[in-house]
Amino acid sequence: MTKNPLPHLAKRLAILTTAMLLLNCGLAAERKTENLILITLDGVRYQELFGGLDLEILKATIKDGKPEDTKTYKRFWADTPKERREKLMPFFWGEWMQRHGSVAGNPQKGSVVRLANRLHFSYPGYSEILTGQARDDLITSNDKVLNPNHTVLEFLRRKLGLPQKQVAAFASWDVIGVAVQHEAGAVFTNAGYEAYAHPDPAVQSMSRLQFEMLTPWDTVRHDEITFRFAMAHLKTHRPRVFYLSLGETDDWAHEKRYDRVLAAIARFDSFFNELWNWLQDNPQYRDKTTLLITTDHGRGDIALNWHSHNAQIRDAKNTWLAVISPDSPLRGEWAGGKPVVMDQIAATLCRFMGLDYSEQNPKAGKPIARLFEK
């Protein structure tokens, strides 16, 4: 008589299910990340991040005199790339990269981070970061229109069941306000020249002053304004998912003001210092927050085209990313390894939160495995 195999099969399935549940519980207990902060620095080249001031570009952008006589040279020049980058970004290369995080994208170390999209300008780059998918056919300009795809910020809000102000984006460029969402109002945004309602009188004053303290560009306000609003929102609403987009570096580069680009990068470093100290002073965020910092595109790699980026400039596809996380053991610069593609960022952010981004977008890039290796 043949025995019925179903009871035995059901028992094995029950054991397997229990094992999977125990494994998932163990991974959830092991994971420390409860908050995410994404930061983008518009058009910041890997050359400055890893090598500091480029003397050839400085020479090409000053009108009179010697580069050695400029304030920029005196402030940022040193004999080696390592010394120059530490002068430019002392907090990033000191506290963050030595003690808390890692950075990929230095070709001198055999590390590659690149765009998947072929357009190499801002909106396609931001959309690739935020959706995990490069759609050259859907986004072909920097026009201020809602993202044609749902974004990782929308996914995180839905999966975590968060109110709107708990998933927030603050940006200097107004287009970011639509790039972060497919459905209007899905994410709390403040972008470009936009008033910010806040109970602090100092923030109210800054909200008014932004319309008088104009930049040379109609769609990009000063990063200082954006950062102050962002910090005010963090302190008041304590969001679990937060996106900060800073933009003056790209605009000063297009103006061929290398001195202003370097000054802006140095200012970003001081922002990082302030943000980190505040996070470390707050139990909600201390040792429970993953930060990912990157850029939307690269630029030309020589003095002739350093200020430009488009599909015809090969080096504009090369970018970088840094991660500071209690759940990633990597420290310092990456060396060698498989290239990282920017369409992996959305899934990587979700992985840090114990979520699978492929639920929303099966075509998105996969999480960056190296960040999670023990």
Q: Token digits for 17?
A: 């299910």
Question: pLDDT value at position 4?
Answer: 55
Structure confidence at residue 27 (pLDDT): 45
For residue 374, the model assigns a pLDDT of 81
- Phi and psi at 38, nearest 5°, equal -100, 130
pLDDT of residue 63: 87
- pTM for this structure? 0.92
The pLDDT assigned to 250 comes to 98
Q: Which two tokens stand for residue 235?
A: 């302190």
In terms of Cβ atoms closer than 10 Å to its own Cβ (0-12, 13-18, 19+), residue 212 is exposed
pLDDT means per 10 residues, the chain with 374 residues, are: 50 48 48 98 98 97 93 98 98 97 98 97 97 89 96 98 98 98 97 97 97 97 98 98 98 98 98 98 98 98 96 96 98 97 98 98 97 92
Output the six-digit token pair for 36: 């995410």
Helices (H), the chain: 6-30, 46-51, 55-61, 71-76, 81-88, 90-91, 122-131, 152-160, 176-179, 201-209, 223-237, 248-254, 258-280, 345-352
Domains and CATH numbers, the chain: 31-372 (3.40.720.10)
